[in-house]
């Protein structure tokens, strides 16, 4: 099976939001990337380059992620179907961005 090199031009910003696939609830980064499902079936690992950084990811991890969040998408005007997953799979240090809670005392009067 082997490995395949893939270069991603730009991530999909709102993929992990509650309006899309809602994986930020599990502390994954909101940015997502899509990979052709043909690659997931034909290779064991993918060497993915995003913004000049390269990571090696097991295709089974991508399949598990996409199945859990049902994050598959058909590309418009194409026969290609992609699995969309969080960039947290590329770098485990990337987590969901937490909103800062305003804990200052509000005026009562």
Most distant CA atoms of the chain, gap in Å: 69
Could you give the CA distance from residue 97 to residue 83 in angstroms, rounded to a whole number?
Answer: 22
Phi, then psi, of 16 in degrees rounded to 5:
-90, 0
Residue 88: how many CB atoms within 10 A of its CB? 22
Q: What is the pTM of this model?
A: 0.82
List pLDDT tens digits, range 26-81. 999 999 999 999 999 999 999 999 999 999 999 999 999 999 999 999 999 999 99
Strand partners, 41: none
Q: What is the torsional sign of CA 56, 59, 63, 66?
A: positive
């Amino acid at each position: 099976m082997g490995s395949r090199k893939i270069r991603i031009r730009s991530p999909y910003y709102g993929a992990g939001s509650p309006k899309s696939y809602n994986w930020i609830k599990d502390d994954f980064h909101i940015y997502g990337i899509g990979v052709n499902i043909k690659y997931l079936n034909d290779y064991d690992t993918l060497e993915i380059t995003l913004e000049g950084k390269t990571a090696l990811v097991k295709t089974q991890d991508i399949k598990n992620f996409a199945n859990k969040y049902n994050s598959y998408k058909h590309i418009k005007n194409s026969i290609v179907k992609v699995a969309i997953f969080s960039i947290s799979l590329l770098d485990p240090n990337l987590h969901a961005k937490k909103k800062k809670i305003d804990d200052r005392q509000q005026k009562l009067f």
